[in-house]
Structure 1
Amino acid sequence: MTKKYLLEIGVEELPARYVRDALQQLKDNCAKIFKDERVTYEEINVYSTPRRLVLVAEGLEDKQADLKETLKGPAKRIAFNDDGNPTKALLGFMKGKDIKINNTYIQEYNGEEYVYANIIKNGKNIKEVLNINMINLIKSITFPKSMKWGGKNIRFARPIRWIVSLLDDEIIPFDLEGIKASNITKGHRFLGSNKIEINCVDEYFDLLKDNYVIVDQNKRKETIKYRSEKLAKEKGGNLLPDETLLDEVTNIVEYPTPIIGRIKEEYLSLPKDVIITPMKEHLRFFPVVDDKKRLLPYFITVRNGNEDFIDTVIKGNEKVLGARLEDAKFFYMEDIKVPLDSYVEDLKNIVFQEKLGTLYDKTKRVQKLAAKIGGYLEVGEDTENNIDRAGYLSKADLVTKMVSEFTELQGKMGMEYAKTSGENEIVSLAIYEQYLPRYSGDELPTTTAGAILSIGDKLDSIAGSFAIGIQPTGSQDPFGLRRQALGIINIILDKKLNLSLSELIEFALYIYVEENGLAFDYNKVKLEITEFFNGRIKNMFMDMGIRYDIIDAVISTKTDDIYDMRIRADKLNEWLSKDGLSEILSAFNRVSNLAEKAITDEVKRDLFIEEEEINLYDTFNNIEEKVISFINKKEYDKALDQFVVLREPVDKFFDNVMVMVEDEDIRDNRLGLLKKIYDTMLLICDLSKIVNK
């Protein structure tokens, strides 16, 4: 009969952001222990509340699986003496492995006979396995920040206060630096018992529910979502969706009771984000909106407890929110007394980065870089003016009272204050969109001005950081440069922008020299930034399902236009799905291998001697113009089709023509022809990078 094991790690309240990863570690590490220890089980489930991490392993066998092992001993020639008796070598082998002579046998290995023995190690009782390994399981959980407490050596996110270790109805005891495992747990901090005895694993969840603890985080989440939506609908509205906030609230309550409160009408005249941000970011309240996403005068919060004295709790939450919104109203009214552009000069007093100047310096750099990008894209005069104005105002809101208090509102308040200052809609929106995307899956800029400003702002940060040597290393990226690079790539692909990455990097670095007098190894830094972007491009393209060799083939070309790379990758992927390409790839691998030895691509027809080289030269000349025409129209698949006709001439060339002859002129002419073919191919992709499947 199989068994069920419960491990509960009782702690002081865990930070909500730590819980998901900790649970995954608990499950994965336990599965690894069971595998290493030959423990058979049906499933492992993990649960959490703010005060506990819980593991339940079901279908455990009574003991480990027996281990059958074949042991190889000494060679027969040294294992027995002339009389056929065991020597010291064999006796030592048997003693060390605790085996008898009648358990041994002789078997040949690599032409020589050796002594072997088959042994069976009986599996340990499951109780012993759990007793030995659960301490290590607890210690294996790591957190972004851990602590020691009470003179203990173990590090954990918060102090461990109790441990439950129960196999069906039997305690599996162990001692974790003075914390003894038992069958005693704790209920809700205020509503439940401080000492709950668990007689068997099956009653664990019900006992805790009776003590106002819902252990299953998924049930808590569903309860919060369902009851909150129900409350919102009773007021004619809907819960404003926010999965991140829902997960956080789920992980800070043990017994959720959603309640609805009211927002005073006097605050509803404030911009929507001014109301929502304090609600969500500071108080963990859910806003209520109508079908058109307009804010209604209600909020929903989740009480960690039951419905006792619920009216008092609602009034308390309304009072707390009112105080926050009163502050926000004061800041807002103070900020709009002057136009947004009056704050720009104050940016001179705020350091962006010690070696990279002030926020005012960054503003000027972003203005120049955004203007350059606009020039590359040949935007119209109105867009050009909007980019310049939005760039000038882009950081002004950072010195306002509102953003100083609620930093989450950067960009959003810039947009609102731009509107109240009479700036046009595009300029106002671009100020907000400069920060997009802020995280994976976030919205992207909708306006051309916002997209260009966002690229300029992010590229300025990347260029400056690399120039002073604070680029990402390993898993460390304190300034979020990887995220910003991915943001640039996403915007370029979304807007289908044709931009030279190399030229943008060059100009971004040049501005630092011109504006800030920054000294650095220009070529080295440019190369580092280019490789940094290429790494992000590769990762993103692979996430899109593009083959790694196709990505390498595209990145190896002379193009540094990210959107054009995507077009090439898609076209090449389609082209490679055709039949009969194996021979073509082999032919061009031969071309690329020798083309690297060429010192020039200059070719003279009168130096060709063999019929096969003349035929290859003429065939290539016949397609070259068509290839260039298709490339200019970005019809890369059609350009590749032209190269198919070269397969046979290339094969005949290599089969019948000696390239590396002694005559220097003839050799260079033949290498030049191969280089000319290869360089033309590189205008599309590098087929030598494709793995021939």
Structure 2
Amino acid sequence: MTTETLLIELGTEELPPKALSKLATVFFEQIKTQLESADLGYETIKWFASPRRLAVQVNALVAKQADKAVEKRGPAVNVAFDADGNPTKAAEGWARSNGITVAEADRLTTDKGEWLLHKAVQAGKTVHELIPAIVVNALNKLPIPKPMRWGAERIQFIRPTHTLTMMYGSEIIAGEALGVQSSNQLQGHRFHHKGLVTLDHADNYQSVLESAFVIADYQQRKALIESQVAKVAADIGGNAIVDADLLEEVTSINEWPVTLVGTFDEEFLSVPAEPLIYSMQDHQKYFPVRDNNGNLMNKFIFVANIESKEPQQVIFGNEKVIRPRLADAEFFFKTDKKQSLESRLTTLDSVLFQKQLGTLKDKSERIAQLSQFIAEQLNENSADAYRAGLLSKTDLMSDMVLEFPQVQGTMGKYYAQHDGESAAIAQALEDQYRPRFSGDSLPEANIGCAVAIADKIDSLVGIFGINQPPKGDKDPFALRRAAIGVIRIIIEKQLNLDLSALISRSIELFADKLSNENTASDVLDFVMGRFKAFYQEQNINVDVIQAVLAKKPSAPLDFDKRIKAVSYFSQLAEAETLAAANKRVGNILAKFDGELFQSFNSELATEAEEQALAAAFAEISEKVAPFMANKDYQAALTELAQLKAPIDTFFDNVMVMSDDEAVKTNRLTLLNQVRACFFDIADISLLQ
């Protein structure tokens, strides 16, 4: 069958850079899905995107669909003909719709009766017939939150459209989308190539555009920018700070990237690096540079979408633009230092945290007291923890943080150092927001951990306490992230803290502000629910997590030890049998409506197998006791695994539900004791 390359490109005004790759990939997926649904085979398919285009190229696409044999069943014969054998209106209407007469129809006979049948061959449609509709459907399904109209047209799209190219090999596929007729004309670079460029064949898409100063391949352009930035940084003796999101954005605003380096006055380096970096990245889309010691250099790398004959003029222009930005940061820093963090406490009263929960000052005071409580549990300096908690939100009132919200906490650290606060307090102010995202670093020291945990617990308790928990994908106070953050800090920093105690103390600090009587259980259940996602990311089986969750251990570090122990146990050869045995015992006990004995009575043990199980359990439980005391759950479960053989023998040879009530109760007491020993760690009956 004939095959050729298909090229589809929509030429537009500059597309939103932060949305470009998503638009391109969705467009690609829609085209791909529809080609496959239409049974149009191909070898490879690839997407392209630049500021002024979305494109898809399909290699070795078949020219048309395969013909299909079609059978269309008509009315039953007893309905298709009247008593005289003449066709009824139902039969004639069906025949007409298929382009035949009733006499030309075949018959379909089954064990349920006989029907009229039309057999035909449906000719496959060509690429020229199918592609226009496929393109329109794909464009209609793009994620465009705010479409716009232009000129006198009523057509809406994310940006005005100028060209539509649909080519199959060297042939133009006739069609229209968004008010533009298909042609073989493409937009070149806005400055380096005035007007349109002609595409002679779909295979030549990239080379034709490259001749017009456009690198259409998004990933190629991204890799080129990254390598250019790294080379320029190395040439000036530094290392570029390449933020992944910024790299994507720069790739999305350049069609012909040219990387240059600029310089700013060294005096600005007296300002903390973080606001300078954010200013360069967020405001100017520049890549800052650090020297080999990690210190910020007075250099910046930028990517121009033009190959200038006078690059120095381009550099000069960018240096001129960055100066007032950095001067603002310098001014904010100098101004903020005139006022101590402590003096800003009163201004927190003017900012509402949440109308039912009070101001930021109220929150700061709660964080301070909860931080102190946590520090006491950790045997850390509680006075430092209280002070850090009290000052934790004060930098939010500084000019620098108002201008650069990303440096909250970080500027608190610098201002605390300037005010003469201790190093522990200063570092805690920065650490309070950690971890800010999945995989982010944790607080450095335990004082920072205390403040970070206190801040997150305060938000969880407060918002649940006024009955405003997250719903669906709505989580305005980022409580899911806060819960995961608390779990990570406690487990990864090996902190011996109990969530129930932290939640109870936090509830006390809110006094009468909370209206939800179930706040403590709701918050604990919510945080416990985050454990599942936390451990699934570590490839822990769900049944292992459920087995531990059944115990509801409220100390995350203890929870983690149980998870690791049960995960290890689940891999043992004895695990499957012991899990089944525990489940069996649980089911038996659930049906027992009497009272068990306080302890197993050996005098009632009439069978050798129950005596053997009782003896084995007594010996093993004695060994397990010190392991449990030290919370060495893995060692405990390893010992308990030795009960497999006596338990198997017991169930094979002993009738648990004896007719003698005392004997039955005694056997159930033994089984309950064995099960309870396992359940002290986790409900292993839930293991699959």
Normalised TM-score (structure 1): 0.89
In the alignment, structure 1 residue 637 sits paired with structure 2 residue 634: yes
Partner of 1:442: 440
Q: Distance in 1 between matches of 2:620 and 2:302?
A: 70
More displaced, 116-125 or 525-534? 116-125
Identity %: 35
Partner of 1:620: 617
Between Structure 1 and Structure 2, how many residues are aligned?
682
Deviation at 1:616, TM superposition (A): 4.6
Q: Distance in 2 between matches of 1:180 and 1:31?
A: 22
Query: Is the 2:503–2:523 Cα contact (8 Å) retained in structure 1?
Result: yes
Aligned partner of 2:679 among 664, 679, 682: 682
Residue-by-residue CA offset, 1:322-372 (whole Å, 9 max, x unaligned): 111111111111111232222222111111222221111111121222222
Once the two structures are superposed, the pairs formed by residues 587-666 of structure 1 within 5 Å of their partners are 587-597=581-591, 602-606=597-601, 608=604, 611=607, 616-651=613-648
Residue-by-residue CA offset, 1:377-408 (whole Å, 9 max, x unaligned): x323x3x3332221121111111111112212
For the residue of structure 1 that corresponds to 2:513, the secondary structure is coil
Aligned partner of 2:386 among 385, 388, 395: 388
Partner of 1:294: 295
Query: Is the 2:269–2:298 Cα contact (8 Å) retained in structure 1?
Result: yes
Once the two structures are superposed, the pairs formed by residues 480-559 of structure 1 within 5 Å of their partners are 480-512=478-510, 514=511, 517-523=512-518, 525-559=519-553
Q: Give ranges in structure 2 of 5+ residues lacking alignment.
A: none
Deviation at 1:504, TM superposition (A): 2.4
Distance 1:650 1:579, change over 3 A: closer
For the residue of structure 2 that corresponds to 1:522, the secondary structure is coil
- Name the amino acid aligned to 1:638: A
Q: Distance in 2 between matches of 1:46 and 1:191?
A: 24
Query: Is the 1:610–1:657 Cα contact (8 Å) retained in structure 2?
Result: no
Deviation at 1:547, TM superposition (A): 1.0
Q: Give ranges in structure 1 of 5+ residues lacking alignment.
A: none
Distance 1:189 1:680, change over 3 A: same
- Name the amino acid aligned to 1:255: W
More displaced, 127-136 or 199-208? 199-208
Normalised TM-score (structure 2): 0.89
Distance 1:169 1:467, change over 3 A: farther
Residue-by-residue CA offset, 1:520-572 (whole Å, 9 max, x unaligned): 2232x434333332332211211111111111112112312223333322222
Q: Distance in 1 between matches of 2:664 and 2:457?
A: 46
Distance 1:557 1:113, change over 3 A: farther
* CA RMSD of superposed structures (Å): 3.3
Q: Distance in 2 between matches of 1:98 and 1:622?
A: 88
Partner of 2:205: 204
Q: Distance in 1 between matches of 2:17 and 2:245?
A: 11
More displaced, 436-445 or 32-41? 436-445
In the alignment, structure 1 residue 31 sits paired with structure 2 residue 26: no
Distance 1:290 1:578, change over 3 A: same
Distance 1:609 1:70, change over 3 A: farther
Partner of 2:187: 186
For the residue of structure 2 that corresponds to 1:182, the secondary structure is coil
Query: Is the 1:40–1:60 Cα contact (8 Å) retained in structure 2?
Result: yes
Q: Distance in 1 between matches of 2:191 and 2:391?
A: 51
Distance 1:65 1:518, change over 3 A: farther
For the residue of structure 2 that corresponds to 1:163, the secondary structure is strand
Q: Distance in 1 between matches of 2:73 and 2:520?
A: 59
Distance 1:509 1:18, change over 3 A: farther
Residue-by-residue CA offset, 1:13-71 (whole Å, 9 max, x unaligned): 33322123222212222221112111101111111112222111111001123445677
More displaced, 151-160 or 452-461? 151-160
- Name the amino acid aligned to 1:552: Q
Distance 1:32 1:152, change over 3 A: farther
Distance 1:65 1:690, change over 3 A: farther
Q: Distance in 1 between matches of 2:191 and 2:657?
A: 88
Partner of 1:346: 347
Once the two structures are superposed, the pairs formed by residues 120-135 of structure 1 within 5 Å of their partners are 120-135=121-136
Distance 1:82 1:603, change over 3 A: farther
Residue-by-residue CA offset, 1:627-650 (whole Å, 9 max, x unaligned): 332223233233223333444554
Q: Distance in 2 between matches of 1:116 and 1:624?
A: 77
Query: Is the 1:598–1:675 Cα contact (8 Å) retained in structure 2?
Result: no
Q: Distance in 1 between matches of 2:686 and 2:436?
A: 34
Distance 1:95 1:505, change over 3 A: farther
Deviation at 1:192, TM superposition (A): 2.6
Query: Is the 1:444–1:491 Cα contact (8 Å) retained in structure 2?
Result: yes
Once the two structures are superposed, the pairs formed by residues 365-384 of structure 1 within 5 Å of their partners are 365-376=366-377, 378-380=378-380, 382=381, 384=382
Query: Is the 2:4–2:63 Cα contact (8 Å) retained in structure 1?
Result: yes
Query: Is the 1:146–1:157 Cα contact (8 Å) retained in structure 2?
Result: yes
In the alignment, structure 1 residue 308 sits paired with structure 2 residue 309: yes
Query: Is the 2:656–2:667 Cα contact (8 Å) retained in structure 1?
Result: yes
Distance 1:307 1:554, change over 3 A: same
Aligned partner of 1:406 among 392, 404, 407: 404
